[in-house]
A and B are shown apart, each in its own frame.
Chain A
Amino acid sequence: MTGTLRVILIVALLFYFIIVFFLLKKRRLALKYSLLWLFMGITMTMLVVFPRLLEIFCRLFGIADTMNGLFTFAIGFILMLLMALTSIVSKQSDRIKELVQESALMEKRVRDLEKEIQK
């Protein structure tokens, strides 16, 4: 990793954190879902600020170029994030299903009661 690249990456990470915190502050991002984003950012920062860590990782896994090591991390995080999103979506759709069923059953009760009152 060249010096120029490290500077660019650090600036990019800074923007990344600003965006995450801005969204958190505006409550457009729930804290429980932001933890993975923050963890991602912190790990990437560590790797850029202390390139030794990245070099050790690359040697352990037999990756020739440190940049590829960084990509490996980035792709790994993206996959984790997508998995988390899919899991959240699945849970949400289950909850929506429950709500839809409840509201339909409730609507029937209301309708039946209205009919009874009108009699």
Chain B
Amino acid sequence: MTGFRLDAGGVVDRERPLKFFWDGKGMTGYAGDTLASALMASGERVIGRGFKYHRPRGVMSAGVEEGGAIVTVGAGAKRVANVRATTTELVAGLSAHGQNAWPSVRFDLGRINDQLGRFFAAGFYYKTFMGVLGTGTFEWMQFEKLIRRAAGMGRASREADPDWYEVVNDHCDLLVVGAGPAGLEAAAAAADAGLDVILADQDFALGGDLLGAAGPVGRANPANWLSKRLAALSGAVRLMPRTTVFGLYDGVVAGLVERVTEGLAAPSPELPRERLRIVRARRIVLATGAIERSIAFGDNDRPGVMTLAAARTYARRFGVLPGRRIAAVTTNDGGYADAVALAEAGAEVTLLDSRWARNPLAEAAEKAGVTVRQGGVPVKAEGAFGLRRLWVGDHLGGGRARPEEACDVDVVAVSGGWSPVVNLLSHRKVKPVWSDHLACFLPGETTEPIHVAGAAAGVWDAEACAASGKAAGLAAAKALGAWGGTVPNAPGPNGWEAPIDPVYEVSAERWKGKRFVDPQHDVTTDDIRLAHREGFVSVEHMKRYTTLGMATDQGKVGNVIGLALMAEASGRSIPETGTTTFRPPYTPVSMGALAGPERGAHWRPTRLTPMHEAVAASGAAFVDAGLWKRGWYFPQPGETMAEAARREVAMVRSSVGVVDVSTLGKIAVQGPDAAELLNRVYVNGFAKLPVGKARYGVMLREDGVAFDDGTTWRLSETEFFMTTTTANAGEVMKLLERLLQTRWTDLRVHVSSVSDGWGGVAVAGPKARAVLSKLIPDIDWSDAAYPFMGVREGGMKIGRGAIPVRTARLSFSGEKAWEVFTPADYGPHLWKTVLKAAEKAGGGAYGLEALDCLRVEKGHVTAREIDGRTTLEDLGLGKMASRAKPYLGSALKNRPELVRENRPRLVGLKPVAEGARFRAGSILCRPGERSAHGVGWVSSIADSPSLGWIGLGFAEGGLEAWEGAQLVAADPVNDAATLLEVVSPHFYDPSGSRMHG
């Protein structure tokens, strides 16, 4: 017989039926159901298939530890695999499918694996797929293709996630994890004491075990107790249902995931699907409850075998009876109340208690209609597609049984004990402590600001859990100085009268059947003993060899049983055998929630120059330069990038071009010691730079390697405007701050980034002077009045008004050129005005592609050459270094490696064959000797309209060794090689005369 809905009972709302779909079939459940309870009520038994053997599986629990009812929910882009039906809130229109089976979970061809089970024991892949067809990698890789297709559980959607997610920062005094009786009381007590409390629970309804409680809370009806507590808390405490606290981190920080739209049939796209909440608390109460264990007996994975409290929860919380004839199995007193609850719901219940002594609770159970069999244990379950029969036997002790008879049952509900949920404490490296008395791990002592209450602390009785929670809440309030009373004694662990029987496995001599420990990964008790026999004595090895505890439940179901069996096999106690460490997340967290808003273009911020919109309107294509968008080229209709760039280069050299240079790093260096600071960091002298002049400077790293270059302008005795490369702006700022704060603390100078405060253009070409004189008439642009490297300030006419401009006569392109900067909010006016004037003069806009070609033609170095490997001398700038003063890196630049003779030095490169091309990054090799690192590399290339394809690079010994000779640019990645001639890097206007005059 299958499960069915009771006529009355449960906290589901029978006034709100919800239609849902299972493997395409329409069914009905109620608001308040989980997918599992709704499937159970509809009579479905086979919900999933095991990973390895493909055995049919049904619902095995009512919580996050579920190992059988693992399904796929949703379709298309919203499809999610490996979802636990037991924790999935039922919503109208929900569509779920079985997985890991073909064609369906009810009829799966994969089941052949079960027949071949003896070949698929733990670790089989270490012992197979070799030796038959060969022992090499090739052979293994053929098997790998087959294994890959068979492996994996469920299939994820390959479509882009249509939902959005966000990250939220929360602060509170006390974070309470779990809204069962302990958590509710802790939150209430703390809130009464004036603390700011967040109470989070992973379930969509608050109350924990009280939602489907077996018995009263003390004398109070659990439903009444619950509704009173919730009413008192609303408004006093921030309640977060559907929110899992998945990890605890340093600094009393908790990671939470809130499933925002989970309960909504048609969620608004304005809501994020999930929120990652980072909670910074001052103290934490863990009221995370405990998870019931099963027992490993013959074929204990048949659909219909589940944990006992879960069976009771389906009856009491969801109003669903899992079956009509139920064999309840227990090793502890807790099983009695659950068996009674099932009998009261109308099932025919036989309770097998592995303990022979007549239990004090047996009488009341019998009065409620339960047949109690002391000393009875389950031996083997029968019914591959749904439990039909259970073989039962006498318990001979230690899990050994003598089979006696078979009973016809549809459900076997097992309680092998309880495991307090100590995972979050484990994240804080607090090792749990084994209790022989309770046959479970209890939370260890800690100095962290964390209190554990309720079943998580081994307290089994509901009223005691509430008292435990209250004590924890008050203790937290007291620790924070909010409450001055005496914290009441918290109830200790326990709640059972008779001690638990530590049974983990039941077996009978000569009786076959797989006894499952970890149903998700199909790990059996034999696998664990096999691991031990093969020498895997450490529990860490046993875990990885058998894969016990490595599925989506991460050991919630099987860890303790596995540990107990390992202990027995190795003749040690459980604590001696050890325990594996729990790590975040407690339950799976979606990648979307972890990524939050950092997706696509928002993975990192995009930085835009002050003229971005205006440059875009001028027709630019953009390229990424770090975080910045930079104008790349300005194609005319039909032009390719190469054509546009060549045209722009020719335009700059023949009339005038305008380029946005706003991304350059700009640093205000201010104070009486400003000149001294610059003098210490640049290799050349800056102390005597006159006001109104700029100078090109190079900085080294402390180890003597070239670091960055730029021009620095002197605005006054005590103020400089320092520019850096775009890429290193932040690095240079950090370096200067570090030096000033830790080494040169006596210097009276401040540095501040002003990169974003100025918009700037370079105006370059023979007509640059003419263009600028018309636009900025209050500056005398003549060569005499405004010599090379001069700095002048003025105003640019814009309509009836003017914008202030700061200019310098600098040239990166090698033409007559000026850089013109204005405060950023005036940037668009600057671009539009200068560009219009340039176009009138026959010129126009140019971008980064042309800019780079222009400087390569001149042999000017950029970050492609100043790449962290090259020295000043390698770059051909050795003469810049002052001999009169020390500067950053001046000592280490002379270390042997940096001054040895045949270091690779800057050279120019041209292809020998007409029209040939080569790539930056190619290795330069002697012709005929293409190997290893060759003699150097190509650092930059350019497609020059006047010179053809040219490049810059580094070759051992530089021009002295190679000028006029040939090298091969070897490009093995692209399977190419080009014969090159080595020339001077100063291709265009080597004397530099075009900049002057």
**Is the pairing of A and B real?**
no
A residues touching B (Cβ–Cβ < 8 Å)? Answer: none
B residues touching A (Cβ–Cβ < 8 Å)? Answer: none
